[in-house]
A and B are shown apart, each in its own frame.
Chain A
């Protein structure tokens, strides 16, 4: 990271202190940074914290993986066959525009108040992102590459597998990156609903209800960090496996 990268975060903390010491916001709702970091540090050595983190990560991961398993094949099919695309385009566009959390209450009917309904909501929100990006990747696969493959004697399946799919990968990864963040958001929010007793989202909700403001801030920080790290992780993977992306 460059030296300048730290300017933003440092300014942010300075501003935070300013707000704190100038009494602009009620201290009951805005603790100082050191109080929050102290609380965070204290949480880090508890087993509970790691259990919460693990639960949230696990739910996010499962939801994300299922949406990959559903989304990529559907996206490939829709991208490859124009007719399938025309048939389902409207549906996909409708459902991806629907805020996923709007159907969480409904999914609780079907799947109960446990993990399944949370994961299902994450799957619902992520799958369409993956589908859309996969379709886009397939449709924009380079024509002259496909023709070259055809002239070299590649079968339809080989052109699909060795050229179109590879060509679509950078776009599929855009979908992956977006949906990892989306999965985390959805999981954290659904953890705030009834019937949950663990996870980062639950802890945020619980600390708010019981006015443990320092901890509330600490957990919000953790949620943010988690999102950031997941995103960075996917970028790292992308750089490694899709090395040609954007070049």
Chain B
């Protein structure tokens, strides 16, 4: 069974001038995602990528088309989002551990708390990820905060996790480190991930399929299978194949047609 089916999705917003005209943001997007896929969306800034995330998360309504996530609509499906401003989305009054396990402090999942806690410790140990769990978010680095936001979303096992350019505010080294951690977590947990990026190298490196979006309104220009084997590491960046693929993607991105 397919994990996510997006069919002819369109969305427009009323224009600021308030004369009844509307600005089209998403134009007829269709995509089928298999369980456990890592899909990246690559597109220019301001092309409606964040709107796409909000629609899939069930936060924003859409105008036309259909979305099914595990045959549920986005409002019913359990989705997780790692925001671009991930730092703001953490609770500064809770320690990292309490942040990560927040979903299990809620009434309907309280009974799973201790289970989730041991799963977290196991996960961190297996993946050799070090996090100061007893510290508060304002005491840790941006990269660590990002990891907390990712783990918090991963641990409550949503049907799909949406990433809205979460690494764009990080420096190069941290970004590389987090990309590695994320891939490890993804392979371990077999979560379905939709990841939005405006960094073509990142978009290729992480994905098993890459979706190239157009300028506003966002249309799918092309979907490309990324056939590098997992687990990957960043030496990939220096291979000819990677370089060629990147060039090809950028050409598609810049082309006017489609």
Shortest distance between the CB of B151 and any CB in chain A (Å)? 13
Per-residue CB proximity of A138-172 to B under 8 Å, as 1/0?
Answer: 00001011011101111100100011001001000
Shortest distance between the CB of B106 and any CB in chain A (Å)? 5
Shortest distance between the CB of B43 and any CB in chain A (Å)? 21
Which residues of the partner chain B approach A145 to less than 8 Å between Cβ atoms? 88-91
A3 at the interface (CB under 8 A from B): no
In whole angstroms, how far apart are the Cα atoms of A35 and B200 in the complex? 78
Which residues in window 83-134 of B have CB below 8 A to A?
Answer: 83, 85, 88-93, 102-103, 105-109
A149 touches B138 (CB 8 A): no
Which residues of the partner chain A approach B89 to less than 8 Å between Cβ atoms? 142, 144-145, 147-148
B88 touches A153 (CB 8 A): no
A166 touches B93 (CB 8 A): yes
Q: Determine the residue in chain A with the shortest Cβ distance to B89.
A: A144
In whole angstroms, how far apart are the Cα atoms of A247 and B87 in the complex? 12
B80 touches A151 (CB 8 A): yes
- Report if A244-B138 is in contact (Cβ < 8 Å); known contacts: A144-B85, A148-B89: yes
A2 at the interface (CB under 8 A from B): no
Chain B interface size, as a band, is 20 to 34
B156 touches A153 (CB 8 A): yes
Shortest distance between the CB of A113 and any CB in chain B (Å)? 45
B138 touches A147 (CB 8 A): no
Shortest distance between the CB of B188 and any CB in chain A (Å)? 21
Shortest distance between the CB of B133 and any CB in chain A (Å)? 17
- Report if A243-B156 is in contact (Cβ < 8 Å); known contacts: A145-B88, A151-B79, A153-B103: no
Contact of A244 among B81, B92, B109 (CB under 8 A): B92
Shortest distance between the CB of A150 and any CB in chain B (Å)? 8
B106 touches A244 (CB 8 A): no
B106 touches A154 (CB 8 A): yes
Shortest distance between the CB of A211 and any CB in chain B (Å)? 54
B158 touches A244 (CB 8 A): no
- Report if A147-B91 is in contact (Cβ < 8 Å); known contacts: A152-B106, A158-B106, A244-B138: no
A145, A152, A155, A158 — most chain B CB neighbours (10 Å): A152
B57 touches A151 (CB 8 A): yes
B250 at the interface (CB under 8 A from A): no
In whole angstroms, how far apart are the Cα atoms of A243 and B106 in the complex? 23
Which residues in window 2-23 of B have CB below 8 A to A?
Answer: none
In whole angstroms, how far apart are the Cα atoms of A153 and B159 in the complex? 13
Q: Determine the residue in chain B with the shortest Cβ distance to A244.
A: B92
Q: Determine the residue in chain B with the shortest Cβ distance to A247.
A: B138
Which residues of the partner chain A approach B92 to less than 8 Å between Cβ atoms? 244, 247
Which residues in window 169-225 of A have CB below 8 A to B?
Answer: 169
In whole angstroms, how far apart are the Cα atoms of A153 and B83 in the complex? 17
B102 touches A152 (CB 8 A): yes
Which residues of the partner chain B approach A144 to less than 8 Å between Cβ atoms? 83, 85, 88-89
- A and B contact pairs by CB, cutoff 8 A, 20 listed: A144-B88, A145-B91, A147-B57, A147-B89, A148-B102, A151-B57, A152-B103, A152-B106, A152-B156, A153-B106, A153-B156, A155-B106, A158-B106, A162-B105, A162-B106, A169-B93, A243-B136, A244-B93, A244-B136, A244-B137
13 more contacts with CB within 8 A, not counting A151-B81, A152-B102, A242-B93, are: A144-B89, A145-B91, A147-B81, A148-B81, A152-B106, A152-B152, A153-B106, A155-B106, A155-B108, A158-B106, A158-B107, A243-B93, A244-B138
The 9 tightest CB contacts between A and B, nearest first, are A244-B92, A247-B138, A152-B103, A144-B89, A148-B89, A144-B83, A166-B93, A144-B88, A142-B88
